[in-house]
Amino acid sequence: MNNMNFTSEQNKFINNFVIEIRNGDAAIFAGAGLSASSGFVNWKDLLRDLADELDLDIDKEHDLIGVAQYYFNRHKRSKINNKIKNEFSTLTKGSENHKLLSRIGIETFWTTNYDQLIEKTLEDDGKVVEKKIRNEDFSSNIKRKDAIIYKMHGDKDSPDEAILIKDDYETYQDKKELFSTALRGDLLSKTFLFIGFSFDDPNLEYILGRIKVLLKDNTPTHYCFFKEVNEKDYQEEKDFLYAKIKQELKIEDLRRYGINAIMVKEYSDITLILSEIERKLKLNNIFISGAAHSYEPFEKKEAIDFIHHLSYDLAKEGNKIISGYGLGIGSIVINGALEYKYNSEYKSLDDLLVLRPFPQIESGNISIKERWTDYRDEMTSKAGIAIFIFGNKWDEKGNKVIDSDGIKEEFDLCIKNKVIPIPIGITGYISKVLWDEVTNNLDEYYPDNEELRKTITALGDSKEKEKIVENVIKIVKILQEK
């Protein structure tokens, strides 16, 4: 569980944005602040030596785009291009916020940044990324992409086309009309989170004006993060009060564009909020861990029926099931999810079921046991909840059934990856061992919820399959609502 106590405003945003992500309707608009912790040079520092050449003090200037234009008027574009290419080439690794945005499954990104941290982070996460940087990029599309990035102000590898001086902004609608059209469509159809923008960012005023022109009065709900003005950052109380009044007026003004400000006390709170969004999204990904050479204390048919209905009902409740295709368990889990798919005419099996069959024959340079551990780690990292059933195998001599050490490893990896375990103790073997562990240490594994803990404890009592499934579904729902 996250240690941060979220405000009611933050909780409302988190819950709403989770829904938009699940529906595929969420988008990110990234500004310079997203890359700040990775070494993104701010606009004043970028233009500082250019201003010096003009005998201007950059710290006294507010119209930074005007400064860039003044420099261009005298010296043209060469040095500006070199600044963009060199300053932003040093950014090679995304921040934790970049990684979180990749993991939570956002498919649409807009950015005014010249760096390549968003696309690099997505690609490092194994995703296929399409970039729109120039008008020519709209003439083709990458099939089966996982994400698309609109770099509306250009890229550090094409600095001559980067949007920076006044001329660029004033001619944007003519020269970059395809970007404006695409942005209009996304702003109308998606819920945006503006992240990394500050009122010192020279691009913000242009972006907000563009949104207003594009949407007129048809403004859907969008969000942005703002750090609260803090008195400790000011030497004089009058300066703090002035800044606070100005921030309140800015926040009020943003509502004209359909943008609701989500206030944070520290920039690090943004990471905690994104982490909470990831946690809530993962809670609908349920890993089923189990293996069964023996179904005792159940009869075989009874056990198969129980596993089938558990998988069916989990799918019915809108969850995605992750399975490692454990012996005696995996096929039944698949059958349950498939039956729900066909009974409900559910279109996409990928939204219901993720299968990761374990390799059985050793090959290559890595031992099969190492492969299995990496495999288990990758599977559990995608889940928010894990259900453990049975968990037994033949000993090496094939003389007797023993507890499965592989299922115990999956439990340990779940705890490492902050996956909430639900061992069904009544199914015996390693699941009973794990149930004993969690019920003896409820504070360590579960939030403080009396009904949740009582239902977890009940999973060690009744063999009635309908009651077991009912209790598991109940536990999952309580966890997903937390």
Give the active site residues: 153
Q: Which amino acid is at 227?
A: K
Helix or strand (DSSP H, E) at 132: strand 129-132
**Could you please report the per-residue DSSP string of 290-312?**
EE-S--TTS-HHHHHHHHHHHHH
CA 440, CA 11: separation in Å to the nearest integer? 31
Cβ proximity of 430 and 404 under 8 Å: yes
CA 357, CA 127: separation in Å to the nearest integer? 21
Q: Which amino acid is at 190?
A: K
Number of Cβ within a 10 Å radius of residue 218: 10
CA 403, CA 398: separation in Å to the nearest integer? 13
CA 260, CA 192: separation in Å to the nearest integer? 10
Distant-in-sequence contacts of 173-182, Cβ < 8 A, 24+ apart: 175/135, 176/135, 176/152, 177/135, 178/135, 178/138, 179/132, 179/135, 179/150, 179/152, 180/210, 180/214, 182/132, 182/138, 182/150
Q: Specify which residues 28 forms β-bridges with.
A: 109, 193
CA 35, CA 3: separation in Å to the nearest integer? 25
Cβ proximity of 345 and 311 under 8 Å: no
C-alpha separations of 331 from 20, 129, 325, 355, 357 in Å: 33, 34, 7, 10, 11
Which are the contacts of 421, defined by CB distance < 8 A and separation ≥ 6?
A: 385, 386, 388, 411, 414, 415, 434, 438, 445
